[in-house]
Amino acid sequence: MKAEKFSTIVVATTIFLYAFAPRAAGQTPNVVIQWNEALQAQFGTANGIHLRALPMMHIAMFDAINSIEDRYTPYLGRMKGAHGASAEAAAAAAARDVLAAIYPAQQTAFDDLLASQLAGMPRGSTRQGVAVGQAAAKAVLDWRKNDGWPTTQEAVNFPDASYVLPPFPGLWQPTPPLNGPPSLTFYPNVLPFAMLTATQFLPPSPPTLISERYAVDFNEVAAFGRVDSTARRPDQTAQALFWTDHDLRQWNDGMLALAADARLGLVETARMLALAHVAGGDAMIACFDAKYTYWFWRPFQAIPQADADRNDRTDADATWQPLRPTPAFPEYPSAHACHSTAVSEALQAFFGERRIAFTLDSRATGTIHRFRDFGEVVRDVDDARVLAGFHFRHSDEDGSALGRRVARYVVRHRFRQLE
């Protein structure tokens, strides 16, 4: 209950700021960004569900706006009665209906935000736009019914205790300090947003425990990923900690800044955010399908138990601990690599061949990092997950390859410019 009250206050504050903040004469508020930030105000109150909510909301807004502007291939379809409708009203109504369905406790706050946005719009085109937005939202909500996502937030937050694996070398085991069952086990059964199936881009199995590649990656993370590493430089420690923040939140903030810096209009902002969040969402579905296919063990488990891996090039260290507590699900492939690479690849496709510099921040470190291009951030993430002691190098590289393939598939089949 306290979390719900706090979330309501955050959303209401967001609404007040957008409704009453001074704006330049003739400036039109970007309702896509406003609704994105209203959704982001929910982060921390319903963990996990945002990976579903962000693509759903942005698909609905994109289809609503695009039904009126008719510049790109529709995602689910073109809404009827769109000619002459207000695109902003359509986007706002679409977002409101999707978010009210996903976060019903916040419906009053979402209603207030919608009302504040519609208040200054022409009545006729506004009413027509609202109808278009409501139709787009209904199409998305109908599509995602029974999509494999848990029906209660408790099922999202709390792991499935039925997963028990034998303590066999190479198989994941519960993660300290809680030592509980794995989380997000439902992901492989979630309906993808663009992919045909969750297994469409299943990566190859991780290296065998007796292989040279496994030994090389084992020794790298053993040296650089331990909590008291003398091999890891201070700047590398900062790099590792930077990416212990929630990367979905980091990327979402970064994309809003990108939209502002590029001065994107309404339909382009909607398209960019939908493209990136669909790619990122599907990359996570594919990634967790792979995780629960291979069930590969984490360094926190592999390094102390190296005497059992039958590899003469690895040495056990019973004192080894990672830089930070390890996430509670199997190791291979790296979820951060899957997600960040998919988003990076989608954004690069959106902006074309241009080299785009941008910034991301981290609430874990309170710092801002400026990247020269999207490729640099992929390399940064891949290194960071080794430096934190969470992943073997092959897991990051294969995760990035998976995310890249997912994003390229989304770009080829969705949000295409009309001839």
pLDDT higher than threshold 60 for residue 5: no
CB 247 within 8 A of CB 327: no
**CA 25 – CA 151 distance, rounded (Å):** 45
**CA 400 – CA 348 distance, rounded (Å):** 15
341-368 residues labelled b (16+ CB within 10 A) or e (exposed): bbbbbbbbbbeeeeebebebbbeebeee
CB 65 within 8 A of CB 86: no
Residue range 328-341: mean pLDDT, rounded: 96
How many structural domains does the chain have?
2
pLDDT higher than threshold 60 for residue 163: yes
Residue 393 is which amino acid? R
User: Do 100 and 184 share a domain, yes or no?
Assistant: no
Write out the residue range of the structural domain in which residue 380 sits.
162-413
pLDDT band at 21 (very low <50, low <70, confident <90, very high): very low
**CA 294 – CA 6 distance, rounded (Å):** 39
Domain annotation covers residue 324: yes
User: In sequence order, what E strands does 219-302 have?
Assistant: none
DSSP for 141-172, written as a single string: HHHTTTSSS-SSHHHHHS--TT------TTB-
Look-up of token digits 């085991």: 173
User: Do 290 and 393 share a domain, yes or no?
Assistant: yes
**CA 141 – CA 120 distance, rounded (Å):** 28
Residue 321 in tokens? 């601990």
pLDDT band at 123 (very low <50, low <70, confident <90, very high): confident
User: Do 131 and 179 share a domain, yes or no?
Assistant: no
* Span of 96-105, 149-158, 350-359, 380-389 with lowest mean pLDDT: 149-158
**CA 331 – CA 399 distance, rounded (Å):** 10
Residue range 350-363: mean pLDDT, rounded: 92
CATH of the domain at 229: 1.10.606.20
pLDDT at 26: 30
Domain annotation covers residue 170: yes
CB 337 within 8 A of CB 382: yes
Percentage of residues in the chain having pLDDT higher than 70: 89
Which residues touch 226 (CB under 8 Å, ≥6 apart)? 320, 321, 322, 323, 389
pLDDT band at 28 (very low <50, low <70, confident <90, very high): very low
Percentage of residues in the chain having pLDDT higher than 90: 75
Residue 281 in tokens? 């969402």
Domain annotation covers residue 298: yes
pLDDT band at 159 (very low <50, low <70, confident <90, very high): low
For 162, 166, 187, 210, the CA distances from 159, given in Å and listed in that order, are 9, 18, 12, 31
In degrees, to the nearest 5, what angle opens at C-alpha 227 toward C-alphas 226 and 228? 95
User: Do 137 and 280 share a domain, yes or no?
Assistant: no
Domain annotation covers residue 148: no
pLDDT band at 29 (very low <50, low <70, confident <90, very high): very low
User: Do 189 and 102 share a domain, yes or no?
Assistant: no
Q: SS in 3 state form for 88-149?
A: HHHHHHHHHHHHHHHCHHHHHHHHHHHHHHHCCCCHHHHHHHHHHHHHHHHHHHHHCCCCCC
Residue that terminates a domain, selected from 143, 172, 200: 143
User: Do 86 and 168 share a domain, yes or no?
Assistant: no
Top mean-pLDDT range of 6-20, 24-38, 51-65 = 51-65
